[in-house]
Structure formats: C-alpha cells, structure tokens
Structure 1
C-alpha cells in the first residue's frame, strides 16, 4: 500500500508541476490582454476580442488556481471542531470530510461535463470559439481536485496523516 501511495504522490506532484506554470502563464497572458485593451482604448480603436479573452482566461485561472490551492490545503476551512476531538476521532472526521468533499467534486465533474456538452453548439461572440473549450475547465478541475482528495484519503488511511512525507520545492506541504 505504501508503494501505491508513493506512486500516487508522484502523480500528484507531476500534475501540479503542469498546472502551476499553466496558471502562471494564464495570469501573464491576462495581464498582457488587459494592458492591450487599455492601451488600444486610450490611444487607438478598441480591440474587440480582448474583453472576451480576458473573461475566458479569468475562468480558467480561477478553476486551475483552485486545484493548486486544494493541493496545498489553502482553501478556507473551519477546523475547530475536528481539532477539539481526540486524535483517533480526528482522523475519522478528516476522512469523513474528505469523502464528503470527494462526493461534491464527483458531482461537480458530472454536472460540469453535462453543462459543457449542453453548451457545445454555442460559439463565443468575438473569437467564434466553441464554448466547450471555455467550460471544459469545470470538469477538468473537479477531476484533478477529486484525485487530490482521493490521494489525501489514502494518505490518511496509510500514514494516519493528510500531509505527504516529502515537501514541495516551495516548502509547502502537498495537501
């Protein structure tokens, strides 16, 4: 079981190693697009597609950034009830909370997939981009966060701790 967990943790780090630079690149692109929008409106004729691209980038940054935050345990959490429990019950409560979160993420992935398919006929106004690409981030991020939650549950069952034994390059714990 420890080997499986080690493999899953390597997979988790690999996925994060792809998502984190993608979020950074999308943020840089968002800054560039908004700067272009401002400059073109002030000095020239407004570039029509910049508002649409900025909106789509913000959607993708929000969802992919949520996966990065989820992996690092940076989402808001109220833990005073769990922290007040005896250590053995804390573990069970954490597992229960992670399973509930996993159930939500599975539902989000299914609903996001259905929504993505329902909007597949629609094209964006300026770019004529299929809205499938815009909405694809919803089920994608739900699946990624769900896999992180599943790895956390396995980690709790195997090691008794939701925190991985190794540390990220930035010094953050992976969960």
Structure 2
C-alpha cells in the first residue's frame, strides 16, 4: 500500500501543478486580451486558445478529483445498503466509470488519428492533435486516479465510512481541539 500512496502523492502533486499552471496561464491570457481590447487591439487567437485552456483545466482537474475521490457521489445511499450489496454496488459503479473512460480514451486516440495534419484556425502553426491530445491523456489520467484511490475507497466503504462525512468529522474534530486549547488556556 505504501507504494500506492507514494504514486498517488506524486500524481496528485503533478496534477495540482499542471492545473494551477493552466489556470494562471488562462488568467494571464484573459487579462492580456482584455487590456488589448481596451487599447483598441484584438487578438485573433484569444477565443480559440482560451477555450482550449479551459478544456485542459477541466480534464486535468477531473483526473485530480478522481484521484482524491472528490467527484459527486452517493455515499449516503451506498452506505445505506447492506454490506454485501454495498460492495456489489461499488464494484458495479467502478466498472461503469472505468469502462466509460476506457472508451473515451479509445475514441480520443481515433480522433487524434483523424485530426492528423490539421492546425488551429487562428494559430496556424499549432497542430489540432496537440490541443485535442487532452482527451485520451485526460481519460488515462482519470483511470489511473480511480484505480490508485480504489483500495482506500473500497476499504472505507466496506467499513461503512463515508468519505464525505469522514472529512467533515475530521475538520470538526480539528476545530474542537483548537478551540479546546484556547478555552483551557483562558481558564488558567
């Protein structure tokens, strides 16, 4: 398990940096484009590049959310099931998600083959394959995130622990301990 935790930590760090870098770059592009427009100039490439960057943020951020199990889920419904059915439902749900992303990766590679030789309209030196490579890459990263986080999720679900509730309870405990320290300090 230790190796999985290390791989997960490295992947999380990389995805966080990539996502933040893309968000900062997109913010920079938007600011520069707005300033240019205020000065009476307009970039022909702005809309196309901003849309591509937003898609990249979505795919990389989605893979990060999969790794941290932060996508919308139904833990309460899942945990309401008897343990045997709970684990069967979890396995079914994971199979559906993984199958979808395997198909998405396959379709993404097919799209890349079709797009060979195509270039962006506004930046004619940028291959469309590069911009659309995020589809299969994002799908593969999502699959990796799901698989790396599955053992911990499986274990917690089997024990009846909700990821959502566990995080909330941990935050409440942290705040209670912080506040208890202040109260004790004041009593002295």
Contact 1:112/1:136 (<8 A) preserved:
yes
Q: Distance in 2 between matches of 1:71 and 1:152?
A: 6
1:139 has 2:136 as partner: yes
Change (3 A) 1:80 1:154: closer
Instruction: Indicate which of 19, 22, 28 corresponds to 1:23.
Output: 19
Q: Which runs of 5+ in 2 are unaligned?
A: 159-166, 169-188
- Root-mean-square deviation (CA, aligned residues, Å) is 2.4
Q: Distance in 2 between matches of 1:34 and 1:148?
A: 30
Runs of 4+ in 1 over 3 A off after TM superposition: 78-81, 152-157
The structure that is helix-richer by fraction is 2
Q: Distance in 1 between matches of 2:151 and 2:67?
A: 14
| TM-score, length basis structure 2 | 0.75
Q: Distance in 2 between matches of 1:48 and 1:91?
A: 52
Tell me how many residue pairs correspond in the alignment: 160
| TM-score, length basis structure 1 | 0.81
Q: For residues 1-175 of structure 1, what are the structure 2 equivalents within 5 Å?
A: 5-128=1-124, 129-155=126-152, 160-161=155-156
Contact 1:109/1:138 (<8 A) preserved:
yes
